[in-house]
Amino acid sequence: MPRIGRFPPFGKRFFRRARKIIGCCHFAHFWRVVVTLAAMHGRRNLNRIEHACRNHHTRQSIGFFLTRAHWDAPELLRQTALDTLKHLGWQPNHRVYVIIDDTQKRKRGKRMDAVSKIFLHAEKVYAQGHTIVGCALLYRNVVIPYAVHLWANEAFCAKTRKPSYPDDPIPFRKLTELAADAISQVTVPRAIVLFDSYYLCPPVIRVCKEKAYRFVGVAKKNRNFFPNGRLHDKRRLSTYGVNVLRRDGRWCTANGKSHRLAARIGQLSKAGRVKLVFSRRARERAWIAMATNETRWSASTILSHYLHRWPIEILFKESKQNLGLGDYQVLRYRGIERYLHLVMIAHLLLTHLAATEPGAQADCNENDPLRLPSVPRRQQLLRSKLWDDTINAMEKGSRNRRVGRKLKEIIQM
């Protein structure tokens, strides 16, 4: 990976809004950290970031930028996401999905803020770590990170209210409340919200109703359902869904796979009036119950909408493996959350570069899905642009002009 010295010319359009929001004082730290996170190999830490930036900024100054400097990381991520959405050709009448989910990261640091005992779903064990709530937009099959929050338990939030805590106090918020806050900050009209069974709860449903958003989520099988609004006829989904699928299920194809579907309208506990769609794949015994507040949709339409929830899982996986989402080593809560925002902005930078390549959007209409390369290939594209910029700078300079010309001749051979 080339060392990052001067501002890359290919980033002028992407960082144009960020320069206005963050200000000139912190802009140099901001773009260098974002480009480094997007282009670096292996694990990320402050020492490697300092080395990649040609020692323009020390480790202490980068740490101060993350923990002490005054800049609005959530607003910066939101505006960058909206700019990326518009750059992809979004219009107010186009369909956009808002996807909510969370991920866990094991952390062994004893002095790190907000570390608590959590259940790691991927490893099926309890461990010390962090829970990260993410919100992403999906447009033309492109995932656009929009918001990210670091969850803190009630004991740590009470600790931040003491005078000995060096930063501002952190109010305690449940995971469902953080998800509701992320949805409330979305400014895209007529979006469709997708989430799993944990977020089918009153706070999320309430904010979807306030913003006139339609949602599709999974209902847990221990919830009660009242078919056709008959409040005296209470059914448990665990047994009701099996019977409905067996009696009235119909086969349909979605994403190349066969599903047996059956639908019912009624009152769901803690969710109000919804339409339930019971779905089971061919040659499988497991089934799910999808709930939506749009009762006019057909069962196959509801299933096709919910299948668009999976890209946020890919976003978390790629961010951890290729962008260092869990490699933060700062101790303070503000520094950790700002690092998470910078990783998501680095993901947006890679998306911007891939979408601006010649021919990326040439063979499709405005509503057709975009087939952008994977994150590793986008990183290779970014590194090649950084190398080209470095060689061009050497060729135009006075000290290493002959070396730059020779390197350019070798590359062009």
Contact 226, 236 (CB under 8 A): no
pTM (predicted TM-score) = 0.92
In the prediction, which pLDDT does 203 show?
96
> Which of 308, 302, 253, 295 has its CA nearest to residue 278?
302
- Name which of 232-241, 292-301, 399-408 the model is least confident about: 399-408
Contact 213, 96 (CB under 8 A): no
Q: Compute the average pLDDT of residues 116-137.
A: 91
User: Residue 413 — very low, low, confident or very high, per pLDDT cuts 50/70/90?
Assistant: very low
Query: How confident is the model over 69-84, as pLDDT tens digits?
Result: 889 999 999 999 999 9
In the prediction, which pLDDT does 167 show?
87
What span, in angstroms and rounded, lies between the C-alpha atoms of 403 and 380?
A: 23
Alpha helices in 148-267 (DSSP H): 154-160, 175-184, 202-210, 237-248
Written in H, E and C, the secondary structure of 301-321 is HHHHHHHHHCHHHHHHHHHHH
Q: With 50 as the cut, is the pLDDT of residue 92 above it?
A: yes
Query: How confident is the model over 164-178, as pLDDT tens digits?
Result: 888 889 999 999 999
In the prediction, which pLDDT does 326 show?
87
In the prediction, which pLDDT does 365 show?
63
In the prediction, which pLDDT does 407 show?
52
**Tokens 């051979």 — which residue?**
413
Q: Compute the average pLDDT of residues 158-164.
A: 92
**Tokens 């925002």 — which residue?**
341
In the prediction, which pLDDT does 412 show?
45
Query: Under 8 Å CB-to-CB from 136, ≥6 apart: which residues?
Result: 98, 99, 143, 144, 145, 146, 311, 312, 315
User: Residue 97 — very low, low, confident or very high, per pLDDT cuts 50/70/90?
Assistant: very high
More confident residue, 245 or 58: 245
Q: What percent of the chain has pLDDT over 90?
A: 65
| E strand or H helix at 355 | helix 333-355
| Chain mean position to CA 290 | 22
Output the DSSP codes for 342-354.
Answer: HHHHHHHHHHHHH
| Chain mean position to CA 351 | 13
Query: Under 8 Å CB-to-CB from 345, ≥6 apart: which residues?
Result: 18, 34, 76, 77, 80, 145
Q: Compute the average pLDDT of residues 352-378.
A: 80
Q: With 80 as the cut, is the pLDDT of residue 56 above it?
A: no
Q: Compute the average pLDDT of residues 356-364.
A: 70
Contact 134, 315 (CB under 8 A): yes
**Tokens 């923990």 — which residue?**
67
| E strand or H helix at 100 | strand 97-106
Give the Å distances, CA to CA, from 48 to 2, 302, 330.
12, 46, 14
Q: With 60 as the cut, is the pLDDT of residue 362 above it?
A: no
In the prediction, which pLDDT does 406 show?
55
In the prediction, which pLDDT does 212 show?
95
Q: With 70 as the cut, is the pLDDT of residue 66 above it?
A: yes
- Name which of 53-62, 133-142, 159-168 the model is least confident about: 53-62
- Name which of 198-207, 293-302, 335-344, 367-376 the model is least confident about: 367-376
| E strand or H helix at 34 | helix 24-39
For 47, list phi and psi in degrees, rounded to 5: -65, -45
Q: Compute the average pLDDT of residues 260-282.
A: 95
Contact 73, 26 (CB under 8 A): no
What span, in angstroms and rounded, lies between the C-alpha atoms of 170 and 62?
A: 23
Please provide the average confidence, as pLDDT, over all residues in the chain.
89
Could you tell me the two tokens for 383? 């590194």
What span, in angstroms and rounded, lies between the C-alpha atoms of 291 and 268?
A: 9
